[in-house]
Amino acid sequence: MAEVQYTEDNIKSLSWHEHIRLRPGMYIGKMGDGSSADDGVYILIKEVIDNSIDEYVMGHGKRIEIDILEDLSVRVRDYGRGIPLGKVIDCVSKINTGGKYDSKAFKKSVGLNGVGTKAVNALSGFFHISSYRDGKHKQAKFEKGILVQDFEIADTKEPNGTEVIFKPDEQLFKHYQYILPYLQKMCWNYCYLNKGLQLVLNGEVLVSKNGLKDFLNAQLSEEPIYDMVHLEHEDLEVVFTHTERYGENYSSFVNGQYTPQGGTHQSVARELLAKTLRDFYGKNYEPVDIHQSIVAAVAIKIVEPVFESQTKTKLSSQDMEPEGKTIRAFVSEFFREKLDNFLHKNLAIAKAIEEKIKLSEKERKELQGIQKLAKERAKKVSLHNKKLRDCRVHYNDEKSNKKQESTLFITEGDSASGSITKSRDVNTQAVFSLRGKPLNTFGLTKKVVYENEEFNLIQAALNIEDGLDNLRYNRIVMATDADVDGMHIRLLMLTFFLQFFPDLVRRGHLYILQTPLFRVRNRQKTLYCYDESEKQQALAQLGKNAEITRFKGLGEISPDEFKNFISEGMRLDPVIVSKEHAIQRLLAFYMGKNTHERQQFIMENLRVEEPIIDLTA
């Protein structure tokens, strides 16, 4: 083997924007195409909004405007103090430059290291920054992080504030999209954590009067068992209640920043809430019974918080500096005082909470015997050899930098699973093969999850028996045929997840795989089409004599072809559940025994598409 030379020529220095563009994952997490709420295109928007939120937190500017323009560029305008005019260019193009290093100017902000807008600048095809301050205006234009136009300071009648217009670089973000519900959720979270803030998204005014209570109410798709428990302190706010649904749903925030992966504040609050309730009732209830069916939110304010990454999705801080207390001690004192006092003053709610805990305890003990048998049965059928073709990287692997890419495809039948298995990336993509049509689980208890072999094995494959903390795959993708049977299987699986694991859906882990319906090709080129209109466009491009193949099922697509549809260009439709989707009512209507009512609905809403006439034929 030839010796590799290591000389001065091997040592390279990158400019700030070159480094960000070379290693974008360090700054915005996964790139993605916008099909996931944590894809980079949303992080770019969030980084810009964070700066505007920090202005509001410091008492400047109650209105922030966000517009997604027709060409997918983004405009964010706030009415804060505006960036000091002489430092506008530095603030968006020099690493380690910004006002967040001065705790007097920004006390409890989320943007701490001065990187956010620089990353947006470097990863954008164009980036236009304007600052309005005391009757003066300064603007500059960049392309891929490089300054292309520096304007002189000019007079203006515009009110103070900052405006950023940018468009993600299409060389880095290929075929990206913005899914409106994701943007709405992000913007509403800002409003819930900043009472009185007026946030305008594409002309829609969002504002919250009750803060975290409004947030929790938006999470509920069914009636709570008791009125929300709302506890407040200058630097900590907690709200929670219990419902009748399965699972637990904790949400957390730091300085107005949503932390979807939780962190110190969420884990400590979750633990100490259970401890306080046990102490109040004087009974050694299991934490799992206390947390079952809970819906809770925690918001904390910390000076100079430390996050695990630039995307700020998980808090690492242990201390409440400069208060001189650990977060654990602070939260413990908070619950001991606030929650204990609340329960003594609201005995009816205290009684309802304990009754719910006892009910969860009873259900858990009734299932224990069945669970044991189910686990033994899962071992006997040799899960990892027959039903599941596993991958090497998992979502609960904290050391892996590819855990966000971990995917489980749920397929119908051996032929489809065979095609995906042969063409998948064995590092990040696993395959679970269904046998026939699953059971309709609507209205059934969780007992069926353990008694039904198919569902028991799916639960074991996902590792969600005790909650989502040990979820093995970030994306669960339903890969069924694009026919009536395939859609029926998809609906039955969706019913299963919504019935027993709704938080899996709410947290954005469930997707539907789009696969092409047609292959159109001539001797020079092959195009794959996902609907009739794409087929017509392909025929217009390749000519009317092109060969057309209609795929009847996934099993008909060869592994070599399938690789194109589950790799970088994979098309996924996220399953999104919001406040408007009352899960139990939805399931009752579509999966219940009201056959006649459903028939009438289908007949009244059936659309017959007009036939597409090919004028070139």
- Residue 112: pLDDT band (50, 70, 90) is very low
What confidence score (pLDDT) does residue 609 get? 46
* pLDDT value of residue 81: 93
The rounded distance, in Å, linking the Cα atoms of 275 and 107 is: 32
The residues facing 198 across adjacent strands are 63
Give the least confident one: 130-144, 403-417, 591-605: 591-605
Residue 234 has pLDDT above 60, yes or no: yes
CA distance 474 to 40: 16
> Over 70: is that where the pLDDT of 105 sits?
no
Rounded CA separation 449/441 (Å) = 9
- What token pair was written down for 565? 């549809």
The correct answer on CATH 3.40.50.670 for the domain covering 381-515+561-605 is yes
**Residues 431, 446: Cα–Cα separation, whole Å:** 24
Q: Are 305 and 254 in contact (CB under 8 A)?
A: yes
Q: Indicate whether 313 pLDDT > 90.
A: no
For the cut 50, the answer to whether the pLDDT of residue 381 exceeds it is yes
- Residue 298: the pLDDT is 92
Pair 268, 202: CB distance under 8 Å: no
The whole-angstrom separation of Cα 151 and Cα 145 is: 16
pLDDT band at 100 (very low <50, low <70, confident <90, very high): very low
Mean pLDDT, range 445-469, rounded to an integer = 85
Of 92, 136, 111, 9, the C-alpha closest to 54 is: 111
Q: What pLDDT is attached to residue 562?
A: 83
The residues that bridge with 389 in the sheet, in sequence order, are 431
- Nearest-angstrom CA–CA distance, 431 and 479: 10
For 409-426, what is the mean pLDDT? 86
- Please determine, for residue 11, whether its predicted confidence score (pLDDT) is greater than 80: no
What per-residue confidence (pLDDT) applies to 580? 47
Length of the chain in terms of residues written: 617
- Grade residue 610 by pLDDT with cuts at 50, 70 and 90: very low
Cα–Cα dist 514/572, whole Å: 6
Highest-pLDDT range among 129-138, 430-439, 549-558? 129-138
User: For residue 336, what is the DSSP state?
Assistant: I
- Tell me which of 143-152, 339-348, 498-507 is least confident: 498-507
What is the H or E stretch that residue 129 is in? strand 124-133
Query: If we measure between CA atoms, which residue out of 235, 267, 227, 276 comes closest to residue 248?
Result: 267
The pLDDT assigned to 242 comes to: 95
Find, among 161, 167, 189, the residue nearest to 61 by Cα.
161
Higher pLDDT, 533 or 95: 533
Q: Residue 155's closest CA among 64, 85, 80, 81? A: 85
Query: Which region among 370-384, 499-513, 592-606 has the lowest average model confidence (pLDDT)?
Result: 370-384
- At 3 the pLDDT is 62
Instruction: Assess whether pLDDT exceeds 70 at residue 4.
Output: no
Q: In this model, does residue 613 exceed pLDDT 50?
A: no
CB 166 within 8 A of CB 122: no
CATH topology of domain 212-362: Ribosomal Protein S5; domain 2 (3.30.230)
Q: What pLDDT, on a 0 to 100 scale, did the predictor assign at position 614?
A: 38
Q: Is the pLDDT of residue 155 over 60?
A: yes
Note whether 409 and 480 are within 8 A (CB).
Answer: no
Classify burial at 327, counting beta carbons within 10 Å of its beta carbon; exposed 0-12, middle 13-18, buried 19 or more.
buried
3-state DSSP assignment of residue 369: helix
Question: Which amino acid belongs to residue 130?
Answer: S
> How much of the chain exceeds pLDDT 70, in percent?
87
pLDDT computed for residue 570 by the predictor: 83
Q: Percent of the chain having pLDDT more than 90? A: 39
Report in angstroms the alpha-carbon separations of 448 from 359, 386, 441, 585.
Answer: 18, 21, 8, 21
pLDDT tens string 525-574: 999 888 888 999 999 999 888 999 988 778 778 888 888 888 877 888 89
Q: What would the mean pLDDT of 132-141 be, rounded to a whole number?
A: 94
Q: Which residues have C-beta within 8 Å of that of residue 343, sequence separation ≥ 6?
A: 280, 349, 350, 353
Tokens of 54: 């920090």
3-state secondary structure of 511: strand
Q: What is the mean pLDDT of residues 99-111?
A: 47
For residues 207-221, b (16+ Cβ closer than 10 Å) or e, as one string? bbeebbbbbbbbbbb
According to the model, what pLDDT value does residue 468 have?
83
| pLDDT for residue 376 | 67
Confirm if 124 and 166 have CB atoms less than 8 A apart: yes
Q: Where are the domains of the chain?
A: 16-206, 212-362, 381-515+561-605, 518-550
What is the CATH class of 16-206? alpha beta
pLDDT at 379 over 70: no
Indicate whether 137 pLDDT > 80.
Answer: yes
